[in-house]
Each structure stands twice: as C-alpha cells, then as structure tokens.
Structure 1
Amino acid sequence: MDKEEELKEIYKMIKTELIESKKYPPKKIIEGILNIIPYNNRYTKSYLSLAKLIYDGYHVKEVRKVRLTSNFLFYKEYGIKLGKFDDLGNNRISYFTWNKYQ
C-alpha cells in the first residue's frame, strides 16, 4: 500500500470513528492534526494531506486554534487560509518555514 492509499484509509477511519459518530467535529480534528506538526514534523506532508482530505470532505470554512507555522504551511501547500489573518505571506514567516521544513 502506498502513502496516498494509507492516508485515505486513515481518513476513512477518522470519518467513521470520530466524525460520523459525532465524537469530534471535522474542525477540531483538523486543529489536532495540524497542531501535531511542530512535534512530529517528519510527517508534515502527510499531516497536511490528511487535513486537506477532511477540509475537502466536510467543507470546513474556518479553523481557529492552529499554530501559525502549521497554518502557514497549509496555506503554502494548498493556497487556503484556515483562519482570518492579515498576511500569511509575511517574509519572516516564509523564511522561517522554508528553512525549518524544506
């Protein structure tokens, strides 16, 4: 099983066990996934992909309690702002993110 198939399987489990069972709303799950990135950045791309699957599947409008770095990475990867920020393209953030995660 390749990485993309594994992510889809994880998404299906999250969908069934957490979202459809009404234990957690999609917004909270996205928050949790993105907030893991600074602690386990080895899997940043996978976390971002998983968050995007949930974002697309449930048409989440806004996610608020996400670390700025993770929010910026999501924006850089998909062009989607999860919250209301003045400028996610700030050069200092861009420089920090590029050096730390690339």
Structure 2
Amino acid sequence: MKIKVNLIENKVFLPVQIISKIDVALKFNNYYTREYLSLIKMICDEYHITRINNISPLTLYLFNKEYNIMLGDIEQSKLNLYENNHYSIEVHESTSIFRAIMDDNVGKIIFLAEQKEFDKNIAITSDFYPVRDYDFLSNPQLSTYNLLEICCYYGAVDCFKFLRTKFHLPITIDCLKFSFLSGVPDILNECLKECQPVLLYGVCNCIT
C-alpha cells in the first residue's frame, strides 16, 4: 500500500492523521465513500487502531454500519439525523434525482424533468457534502446545495448541460468551487464564464 510506504513508514504522517485526511476527502468526493471506508479499515487493521478522536460523526456512523466497528462516539442528535434520513454508504437512494446526477444518468434526469410534479429548484441538505464558508458561523453542521451545484460536485457534465439548457439554472460560486474539485473541463469553462475564480482558497486548502 503506497500510503503505508510513502507517508506512514517515512514518518510523514501518523496513521491516525492519514485517517483524518481520508475523512476530509470523503466530504469532497463522496462518490468513493465505500473505497475511502475500505482504506480506513485497512489502516486500522494494519496499525491496530480501535479509537479515533479527530474524525467526523458521518464517517464514524458509516464505518460502523459497514464493519460493525465503532471508532468513536456520535452525538445523539447526529445519530438521529443519520437514522431518520437513512444515511448509507450508497450516499443517495437509487430512485433519487441526486443519485441520477451522481451517476451522470442524463436519461433519468430527462425522464424526471418531464414529470408534472418536477421541481427545478429542488435542493439537498446533507452531511455528505462540505459546509460552505459563509454557512459555517450560522450553521457549522450542514449546507444546502441545488441541482446544478450537485452536478458540479460530481462532474456530471451531461446532467449539467441538460439542466442549463432546459431550465437555465444560474451558475453560483459554489458551482465554480465544485467545478474546480471535479475537474471536468466543460463544466469548469462554463462556470468561469459567469463567475470569477474568487473565494476558492478555503475549499482548495481543505483538501490539500
């Protein structure tokens, strides 16, 4: 395992520090939640780690659901949130529009958009996504993101193009931030046409 050889055995980071960084990475790329948890499990097994203090409640919860191992305590309020909203390693339920975006399934998006009850302004508030800079003081736990912002988060270019063309959804600064993270040129270029690359330091700093 390259992490073990390059970072841990060379004393660049302690094993628990690597796990903390994986925990942060999960928020910024939750498409690979299962893989991130598997990596944490390998590190815990290799270095006999049974308790971690500096790790998010979401990761603790998902790790316990996947491996039946509790690495730390979770506040009851968070536990209730995760249970009541059916948080799982899959991130989104298979029938959800956000799952369609996650998989860049534009066919499903088109089908849903044709339904009479479709709401182009639907948004999601979830602990699976990073907290905005300007939300942190008022609500350090959660932020809400719209359909186009989620497209940018996942780099779902086909869904992004359809929603822009069909509904003319506005590009926000969060679209631009997430487009840098996902790195899809078509999305990034479109976002740069309407938003200046400001306020990006915070996001980039969190994942480096």
Tell me the TM-score normalized by structure 1: 0.75
CA distance in 1, matches of 2:13, 2:56: 19
- 2:64 matches 1:92: no
RMSD over aligned Cα atoms: 2.4
Within a 5 Å distance, the mapping from 1:34-49 to structure 2 comes to 34-49=23-38
For residues 83 and 16 of structure 1, do their structure 2 counterparts lie closer, same or farther at Cα, with a shift above 3 Å needed?
same
Instruction: Tell whether 2:75 aligns with 1:69.
Output: no
Q: What is the percentage of aligned positions where both structures have the same residue?
A: 36
Displacement of 1:92 in angstroms is: 2.6
Name stretches of at least 5 consecutive residues in structure 2 with no aligned partner. 93-208
Of structures 1 and 2, the larger Rg is shown by 2
Shift of 1:89: 9.1
Partner of 1:31: 20
Q: Higher helix fraction: Structure 1 or Structure 2?
A: 1
SS at structure 1 position matched to 2:82? helix
* Structure 1 runs not aligned, ≥5 long: 1-11
Does the alignment pair 1:101 with 2:86? no
Query: C-alpha distance in 2, partners of 1:82/1:99?
Result: 17
Matched position secondary structure for 1:53? helix
Structure 1 outlier segments of 4+, above 6 Å: none
TM-score normalised by the chain length of structure 2: 0.39
Q: Does 2:7 correspond to 1:18?
A: yes
Provide the C-alpha distance between the structure 2 equivalents of 1:56 and 1:23, rounded to a whole number of angstroms. Answer: 20
